Structure 1
Amino acid sequence: MSRICELTGKGRQTGHNVSHANNKTKRVFLPNLQNVTLMSEKLGTSHKFRVSTHGLRSVEHNGGLDNWLMKTRDEKLSNRAQKVKRELKKAAKEAAAA
């Protein structure tokens, strides 16, 4: 399983460990990923995602999972998140038609 946030697309970054003598060695910075269950208010269902803690705070700040998915581009979302986004769009169309 790759170390990529399913909602923000945040992945690993590379950099250097720098010693006191200014020797540089390669290292990897991994995102702090957590397994969380997020509730979709419009669909009334819960969905499990692997999300970075930064992404989790961003989702809560933007008004929940539904608002976050509708505002985020599909390229940043995982396949599972894109599926939930399609369900949200379908539910919005049905609600507008009724």
Structure 2
Amino acid sequence: MSKQCQILGTRASTGNRVSHSHRKTKRTFAPNLQSKRYWVPSQGRYVTLTVSAKGMKTIDRIGIEAALARIERRASHGR
């Protein structure tokens, strides 16, 4: 699986590594991804998600049920 948050879709972004002499070379900024288990009461089981730290905060805010619905919508749209 790619390095992508399942909730927000956050991917690695690119930028420049800048040396002391100010030369620039390309680099990537990886998202802060964590593998986290969540209990889903409606299904009576745990689900393991790969989410960013911001994605965890989103799940805390909207709830796991709404977050799973968001993942399903994203999967149905082919993203």
TM-score bucket (shorter structure): 0.7 to 0.9
Matched, 1:45 2:38: no
Match of 1:67 in 2: 66
* Number of residue pairs the alignment of both structures matches: 74
Distance apart, 1:67 and its partner CA: 1.8
Structure 2: how far apart are the matches of 1:69 and 1:2? 19
Greater helix proportion: 1
Aligned to 1:66, the other structure's residue is in SS state: helix
Structure 1, unaligned runs of 5 or more: 78-98
Work out the percentage of aligned pairs sharing the same amino acid.
32
Separation (CA, whole Å) in 1 of partners of 2:24 and 2:59: 36
Q: 1 CA distance for matches of 2:16 and 2:43?
A: 45
Separation in structure 1 between the aligned mates of residue 59 and residue 43 of structure 2, nearest angstrom = 17
Q: Which runs of 5+ in 2 are unaligned?
A: none
Q: Please state how far the C-alpha of 1:43 moved relative to its aligned partner.
A: 2.0
Q: Report deviation, 1:3.
A: 0.7
Larger Rg: 1
Q: Give the match for residue 23 of structure 2.
A: 23
Aligned AA (1:49) = L
Segments of 4+ moved more than 6 angstroms: none
Could you tell me how far apart the structure 1 residues matched to 2:30 and 2:24 are? Answer: 19
TM-score, normalised by the number of residues in structure 2: 0.76
Q: Which secondary structure state, in structure 2, belongs to the residue aligned with residue 67 of structure 1? A: helix
Q: C-alpha distance in 2, partners of 1:52/1:34?
A: 6
- The structural deviation recorded for 1:44 is 2.1
Secondary structure of the residue aligned to 1:58 is: helix
Aligned-residue CA RMSD in angstroms? 1.8
